[in-house]
């Protein structure tokens, strides 16, 4: 009597290699091949070539490919919506394996490509002017869920093997998901993966001083950007509650302790809100705060997102604020956000959980 056929494993339940680093892949593959370089080949296929079909990793032996395909999978988040802006930007809504949703943005500045990534579903910091903050925190993202945002956009825009920029300025506070963010960063800058220069990756924080101090000890590390938002503790306490724990003095002191490379600067993102933090005296205080620190200030006119009480300043007002900084010797530019018409700009990212 013939034996019944062995039950085939559910592909969705197989371990997902995507998101693993070199060491983790080598460990996972060790029981199945004695050749250490096979794990490096899989690593390069997944990240450098964006290949999700193990059977298509053609420099691996045929038998090994078949064996690995029956034991592992390479899976990215699923894109369920892409909203295209008139300015060429695109907002991606991705659903994760547990049903959670996260947004990422493809941004064009001329010919320069920047991908804006999320590090959490929602955000716990509750900055009053930010729509993402109204979600609260649902959970942290894994390294694979962070890298998956790159993969789905890179696939659509043929970015494999090209140079682009990454900014951790999407949903969430990256320094509250430190380990996953840094594991993803190390894959981003690996020459056999996405191959990005560390200078092309920027991490933005609302001001978690311990995280800044920890980041300062990393080598390599992403560039640092600080969401400033206000120039006095009273005003910043109100707008950005994290300031009640780490005030401006502590924040600036931590920034000054970051060992900057030659020509490297700390970026301060100043969200300019009409009638709230856009006066001449605000500009003067910004200049005093950053004095002596290699830095630049991106003046970001507020993007209205349905949060009551906050309005975009007029262009002339933004220009006056920038000019007031320049007159005080501060390197400053106005950064009008891309994708505002599709809810893809700074502070506008929010998923159906909050809607």
- Domain, as residue range, for 54: 11-69
Check residue 354 and give its pLDDT: 47
Query: How many domains is the chain partitioned into structurally?
Result: 2
Rounded CA gap, 103 and 232, in Å? 32
Domain boundary among 69, 86, 104: 69
Q: Whats the size of the chain, residue-wise? A: 355
What's the number of CA atoms in the CB half-sphere (13 Å) around residue 322?
21
Residues 92 and 63 in one domain: no
Whether residues 47 and 129 share a domain: the answer is: no
Does 235 share its domain with 115?
yes
Check whether residue 60 and residue 86 sit in a common domain. no
**Long-range contacts, stretch 232-240, CB < 8 angstroms, 24+ apart:** 232/285, 235/276, 235/277, 238/128, 239/127, 239/128, 239/129, 239/277, 240/125, 240/127, 240/128, 240/206, 240/207
CA separation for the pair 204, 53 (Å, rounded)? 34
Q: What is the pLDDT along the chain (355 residues), one digit of tens a residue?
A: 555 554 556 777 899 999 999 999 999 999 999 899 999 999 999 999 999 999 999 999 999 999 999 999 999 999 999 999 999 999 999 999 999 999 999 999 888 999 999 999 999 999 999 999 999 999 999 999 999 999 999 999 999 999 999 999 999 999 999 999 999 999 999 999 999 999 999 999 999 999 999 999 999 999 999 999 999 999 999 999 999 999 999 999 999 999 999 999 999 999 999 999 999 999 999 999 999 999 999 999 999 987 888 999 999 999 999 999 999 999 999 999 999 999 998 999 998 654 4
Domain end (from 69, 88, 105): 69
CATH classification of the domain holding 162: 3.20.20.70
Question: Among 69, 91, 119, where does a domain finish?
Answer: 69
**Are residues 347 and 303 in contact, defined by beta-carbon separation less than 8 angstroms?**
yes
Q: Same structural domain for residues 212 and 283?
A: yes
Residues 295 and 177 reside in one and the same domain = yes
* 278 and 295 assigned to the same domain: yes
What is the model's pLDDT at position 10?
Answer: 72
Active site residues: 103, 346
In this structure, are 118 and 150 located in the same domain? yes
Does residue 159 share a domain with residue 61? no
- Please tell me whether residues 56 and 99 are part of one structural domain: no
pTM: 0.95
Structure tokens at 117: 């990534």
| Same domain for 164 and 213 | yes
> Would 353 be classed as within a structural domain?
no
């Amino acid at each position: 009597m013939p034996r019944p056929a062995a039950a085939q494993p559910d592909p969705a339940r197989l371990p997902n290699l995507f998101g693993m680093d070199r060491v983790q892949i080598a460990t996972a593959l060790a029981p199945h091949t004695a050749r250490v370089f096979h794990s490096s080949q899989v690593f390069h296929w997944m990240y450098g070539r964006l290949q999700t079909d193990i059977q298509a990793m053609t420099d691996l032996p045929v038998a090994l490919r078949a064996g690995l395909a029956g034991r592992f999978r390479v899976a990215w988040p699923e894109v369920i919506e892409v909203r295209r802006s008139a300015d060429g930007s695109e907002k991606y809504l991705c659903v994760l394996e547990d049903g959670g949703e996260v947004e990422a943005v493809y941004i064009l500045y001329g010919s320069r490509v920047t991908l804006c990534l999320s590090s959490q579903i929602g955000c716990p910091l509750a900055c009053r002017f930010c729509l993402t903050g109204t979600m609260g925190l649902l959970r942290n993202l894994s390294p694979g869920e962070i890298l998956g945002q790159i993969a789905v956009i890179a696939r659509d825009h043929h970015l494999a093997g090209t140079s682009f920029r990454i900014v951790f300025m999407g949903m969430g506070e990256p320094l509250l998901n430190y380990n996953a963010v840094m594991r993803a960063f190390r894959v981003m800058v690996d020459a056999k993966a996405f191959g990005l220069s560390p200078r092309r990756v920027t991490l933005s924080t609302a001001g978690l001083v311990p995280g800044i101090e920890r980041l300062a000890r990393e080598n390599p590390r992403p560039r640092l950007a600080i969401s400033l938002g206000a120039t006095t503790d009273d005003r910043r306490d109100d707008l950005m509650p994290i300031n009640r724990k780490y005030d401006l003095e502590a924040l600036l002191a931590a920034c000054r302790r970051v060992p900057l490379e030659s020509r490297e600067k700390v970026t301060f993102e100043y969200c300019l809100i009409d009638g709230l933090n856009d006066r001449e005296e605000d500009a003067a205080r910004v200049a005093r705060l950053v004095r002596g620190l290699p830095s630049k200030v991106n003046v970001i006119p507020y993007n209205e997102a349905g949060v009551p009480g906050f309005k975009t300043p007029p262009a002339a007002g933004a220009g006056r604020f920038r000019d007031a900084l320049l007159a005080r010797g501060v390197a400053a530019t106005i950064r009008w956000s891309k994708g505002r018409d599709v809810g893809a700009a700074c502070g506008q990212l929010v998923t159906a959980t909050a809607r």
